[in-house]
Amino acid sequence: MHLSPAPFEPFRFEGRELTLKRDDLIHPLFSGNKYRKLYALLQTPSEAIDTLVSYGGIQSNAMLSVAALCRLKGWRFEYTAKTAPRHLKADPQGNYKHALALGMAVHEVHPTEYDAAVAALKQRCAKQERSRLIAQGGADPAAEEGVRALAEEIRAWKEKRGIERLNVVTPSGTGTTAAYLARALPECRVVTVAAVGDPAYLQRQIEALMPLPPNLMILSTPYRFGSLDAALLQTYEKLKAAGVAFDLIYAPVMWLALMEAWDDLEGEVLYVHSGGVSGNETMLARYARRP
């Protein structure tokens, strides 16, 4: 499955001029970094696999993309997550609802049993030839192929524009996309933010995949992952007013960190839109319920 490359668009935010790589426009369900991480599996013949297995958050964007991939390929999708809140099970919403509709078989475990369940999952998949395990958030060496394709699109655009110094910006959960981008674009600086945990945590996540690329710049943030904060919501709304919808979890954190670091960046800035807007339904509902 090959989709057309996403466009590069000029963008203005908070008085700064930059360019957006609109990876969010690639496909409604395979967008942004999830498309890049699943690229190799999208090219895999349907008969080569019968089951994809993964684990993570109950409203994960990656979960929804894998569910859509399995529906497309005719594969079974088994997903392990911590026990869903009672209200969500009674009235499924957001990515959880859509993934269930696409055929996801979810195995919920008590939070205290989650780590052991994931370890058992990995052992079981290692013994099953036609099952494939996808790590949480797509943090897997197989993701490199799709990220490398993104890097080639960026390099071609950079050379066509005659840009000498380029900062490529993308937020990080596991750091998979940012790290593979940095490795594939040694002539650029890749700027990311540790949206889950602190920079030391993100560095450990990356080093589980590869040595830390020297051209990767990790910014820190005071915001706790998934927290409801007026500054994050305000940034989301400002971005939307500027003409583009971003996700509510990662993007506001990245944009606030980017604006703070802007004066320290030499050269032009390219922001890679990593998609994930499907998760906004439940995040906006959480903001609405907030006292």
Mode of pairing for the β-strands spanning 189-193 and 166-169: parallel
What values do phi and psi take at 216, rounded to 5? Answer: -95, 120
Is residue 34 predicted with pLDDT exceeding 60?
Answer: yes
Q: Are 66 and 77 in contact (CB under 8 A)?
A: yes
Q: What is the CA radius of gyration of the chain?
A: 19
DSSP states of 86-146 as a string? HHHHHS--HHHHHHHHTT-EEEEE-GGGHHHHHHHHHHHHHT-TTEEEE-GGG-SGGGHHH
- Nearest CA to 58 out of 102, 27, 98, 28 is that of 98
pLDDT of residue 137: 72
| Domain 36-140 listed as CATH 3.40.50.1100 | yes
What does the pLDDT look like over 260-275, one tens digit per residue? 999 999 999 999 998 8
What does the pLDDT look like over 95-147, one tens digit per residue? 899 999 999 999 999 999 999 999 999 898 888 888 899 888 777 788 899 89
Over residues 182-200, mean pLDDT? 95
| H or E stretch at 25 | none
Over residues 180-191, mean pLDDT? 97
- Please state, as a whole number, how many other Cβ atoms lie within 10 Å of the Cβ of residue 162: 6
- Residue 125 makes CB contacts below 8 A (sequence gap 6+) with 53, 131, 132, 133
Mutual orientation of helices 176-184 and 199-207 as an angle, nearest 10°? 70
pTM of the full structure: 0.87
- Is the fold of 8-30+142-289 the same as that of 36-140? yes
Domain boundaries, the chain: 8-30+142-289, 36-140
The CA distances from residue 87 to 64, 93, 239, in Å, are 20, 10, 31
- Please state, as a whole number, how many other Cβ atoms lie within 10 Å of the Cβ of residue 123: 9
Over residues 179-194, mean pLDDT? 97
| Domain 8-30+142-289 listed as CATH 3.40.50.1100 | yes
How far from the centroid of its chain's Cα atoms is residue 6's Cα? 16
Q: How many residues does the chain have?
A: 291
Mean pLDDT over each residue of the chain, to the nearest integer: 91
Mode of pairing for the β-strands spanning 51-55 and 76-82: parallel
Q: Please state, in angstroms and rounded to a whole number, the distance separating the CA atoms of residues 129 and 120.
A: 16
What does the pLDDT look like over 127-141, one tens digit per residue? 888 889 988 877 778
